[in-house]
Amino acid sequence: MGKKLLLQNDNVPGIDTYEVYRQHGGYTSVEKAFKMTSDEVVEEVKKSGLRGRGGAGFPTGMKWSFLAKPEGVPRYLVCNADESEPGTFKDRYLMQRHPHLLIEGMIAASYALGANTAYIYIRGEYFYIVNILEKAIEEAYTAGWLGDNIQGSGYSLNMYVHPGAGAYICGEETALLESLEGKRGNPRIKPPFPAVKGLYACPTVVNNVETIAAVVPILNMGGDEYAKIGIGKSTGTKLISASGHIKKPGVYEIELGLPVEEFIYSEEYCGGILNDKKLKAVVPGGSSVPILPAELSLKTPTGEPRLMSYESLSEGGFVSGSMLGSGGFIVMDETTSIVRNLHTFNRFYHHESCGQCSPCREGTGWMEKITHKILDGHGTLADIDLLWDIQRKIEGNTICPLGDAAAWPVAAAIRHFREEFEEYVSNPSSIVDVKHYYNIHNLVEA
């Protein structure tokens, strides 16, 4: 069994209530933090080597230390619970089952940052979790962990839940802040970064749910101890959302460095491919990261076992590697059409583009139309090259990373599965049931 730091009490009945949570050691990290200065807490997180669990993998301690601290200006901690990356559902799991873990982490983090107000920005579709969090926050207020002068420490913190309303882009931190200010979720042009001008133009740290939750074990065990878990610069544990063609989909906490092969095939995790089919491909870190064909999912280009870590998954760059991303691990068996899967991604990014900047606004829709055309049996070889060229002209040229996120899946699908695209265009009759597929999706014919 791998080490569990976030989900070690996953099977404890009632762990979502304050009483049970407290009995199982809950809120001790806050007690510990209050005995330290805020800078010492930041230092502990730096030592832990914790990296952002939302997808970018930026060192959390460093992000915290960038926070500007001008006199007389409030600072904010905002928890990014907008989890919307296709293939990712671990934050939902964590908040639903362990709401107090998030709240505890937020108190410790807010204390470290000197923030007296903290918001949890949660995607609107998770409204039932808003209920859960509201209840847990109420309990925390009642027990004296929130409000004025928490546990006699002299430190005060108010915490609020803020629902979004359906927009993937609000997972981008500046779009999230715009949305939290009651505006359209349009990403801001950076600089300035949120650490200097964030919520209400005040210094703000935005952290993912899992990142904030990880602060709890880090403070409990000490940053140095935490850094010993995992492998190299990928320290600690990570929640992986496993879905697709596997026997046991779900959220698994793994120690970073676990071999991909073990994760897919062992009974402890995914339990192997559904119906014992063969593995065709894996999207290891949420829809935005490059898809890997079976052999490159299990082995790096140099033939070493591929590990679940930031470094190992990106080994080989985008030519033969991918990214750990948000840990949204989508498995596809041998029967899967990569082109159709790509089409669902293209449709997704087209639907979610905010429309501010032209390459993403126009390019995402164009790519969707082309994969649609190919699936419809009207594609040409030139369309495949055109797709390639469009993604190339979007990547790196947009205001926010959504452009890259839309471009990478296209590039990787063509890079690794070009012959499948060619089969679709040169032999349209090989596409089964295509017309029907489009009828039910109610798409406008190209």
If one asks whether residue 440 binds other proteins (CB under 8 A), the answer comes out as yes
Question: CB atoms < 10 A from the CB of 74, how many?
Answer: 13
348 binds other proteins (CB under 8 A): yes
From edge to edge, which strands make up the β-sheet containing 292-293? 250-255, 237-244, 328-333, 279-283, 292-293
Q: Give, as ranges, the residues between 71 and 90 that touch other proteins (CB under 8 A).
A: 74, 83-89
Q: Which is nearer to other proteins, 134 or 261 (CB)?
A: 134
CA distance 427 to 420: 10
Question: 272 with 246: CB under 8 angstroms?
Answer: yes
Provide, rounded to whole angstroms, the least separation between the CB of residue 235 and other proteins.
Answer: 25
Contact call for residue 162 and other proteins (CB under 8 A): yes
Contact at 8 Å (CB) between 376 and 445? yes
| Residue (302 or 433) nearer to other proteins, CB | 433
Structure tokens at 263: 């994760």
Q: Is 171 in the site for other proteins (CB under 8 A)?
A: no
Minimum CB–partner distance for residue 199 and other proteins (Å):
9
CB of 353 to other proteins, least distance (A): 4
163 near other proteins, judged by CB under 8 A: yes
C-alpha span between 210 and 52 (Å, rounded): 8
**111 versus 126: smaller Cβ distance to other proteins:** 126
Q: Does 18 help bind other proteins (rule: CB under 8 A)? A: no
Residues 221-250 that bind other proteins (CB under 8 A): 241-245, 249-250
Interface with other proteins, residue 420, by CB under 8 A = no
- Residue 334 binding other proteins, by CB under 8 A: no
Contact residue for other proteins among 340, 377, 420, 434 (CB under 8 A): 340
Provide the mask over 47-76, with x wherever binding to other proteins is found by CB under 8 A and - wherever it is not: ---------------------------x--
Near other proteins in 358-387, by CB under 8 A: 358-359, 361-366, 369, 386
Q: Which two tokens stand for residue 257?
A: 């460095």
Long-range contacts of 59-68 (CB under 8 A, 24+ apart): 60/207, 60/211, 60/214, 60/215, 63/195, 63/205, 63/207, 64/109, 64/112, 64/113, 64/205, 66/193, 66/195, 67/113, 67/195, 67/203, 67/204, 67/205, 68/195, 68/196, 68/203
**25 belongs to the binding site for other proteins (CB under 8 A):** no
How far is Cα 123 from Cα 133, in angstroms, rounded to an integer?
Answer: 13
Least separation in angstroms between residue 374's CB and other proteins is 13
Q: Which of 31, 43, 134, 261 binds other proteins (CB under 8 A)?
A: 134
Distances (CA, A) of 244 to 236, 257, 264, 265: 26, 22, 11, 14
Figure out which of the listed residues 51, 53, 92, 197 binds other proteins, where binding follows CB under 8 A.
92
Indicate whether 322 belongs to the interface with other proteins (CB under 8 A). no
